[in-house]
Amino acid sequence: MNEKGYKRLKVYEAAHILVKDIYHATEVFPRAELFGLVSQMRRAAVSIVANILEGQARASKKEFRQFISIANGSLVELEYYLELTYDLHYISEETYQQLERQRIVVGSLLGGLAKYIRMNLSHDD
């Protein structure tokens, strides 16, 4: 893919939306959480996108698969943070459901990309 080829990836688009939604949702968290949950949630969300992009930019498909796996780990981390912030009443049920739906979309697309790489690009190291 060319330098901006990642923008054609559906998983990039969905993950980018998730990052923006996480940033908006965490704006109203208690100030005491700025360096706690706010920071952790934002880092996990950004990590998803960053690992997709870094993996896509790598020369080997093996490395791409590895970065997709790391992105998936960040997605699972975010799942817990969403559950916790809902339980702490930092986000409403509506916000929780909306973020969780978007997280699931990203997870599904990540899984599809991982499968595509595994099935179609396995001849490259």
User: Which of residues 89 and 124 earns the better pLDDT score?
Assistant: 89
The pLDDT value given to residue 20: 98
Q: Are 16 and 53 in contact (CB under 8 A)?
A: no
79 within a domain of the structure (yes/no) = yes
The pLDDT value given to residue 1: 45
The pLDDT value given to residue 86: 98
The pLDDT value given to residue 2: 45
The pLDDT value given to residue 9: 85
- Name the DSSP letter for residue 121: S
User: 68 vs 90, 97, 109, CA distance in Å?
Assistant: 30, 24, 11
pLDDT tens-place string over residues 5-37: 777 789 999 999 999 999 999 999 999 999 999
Range of the domain at 100: 5-120
pLDDT > 90? residue 49: yes
Task: Using the Cα atoms of residue 122, residue 114, residue 41 and residue 82 in order, give the sign of their dihedral.
Answer: negative
67 within a domain of the structure (yes/no) = yes
98 within a domain of the structure (yes/no) = yes
pLDDT > 70? residue 121: no
CATH of the domain at 98: 1.20.1440.60
Q: Which two tokens stand for residue 86?
A: 């809902």
User: Which of residues 59 and 42 earns the better pLDDT score?
Assistant: 42
125 within a domain of the structure (yes/no) = no
Q: What is the mean pLDDT of residues 36-55?
A: 96
pLDDT tens-place string over residues 51-109: 999 998 887 888 999 999 999 999 999 999 999 999 999 999 999 999 999 999 999 99
Q: Are 68 and 117 in contact (CB under 8 A)?
A: yes
49 within a domain of the structure (yes/no) = yes
Q: Indicate the number of domains in the chain.
A: 1
**What is the b/e burial string over 50-77, where b = at least 16 CB atoms within 10 angstroms of the residue's CB?**
bbbbbbbeeeebeebbebbebbbebbeb
Query: What is the number of alpha carbons within 13 Å of residue 9 lying toward its C-beta?
Result: 27
CB atoms within 10 A of CB 119: 8
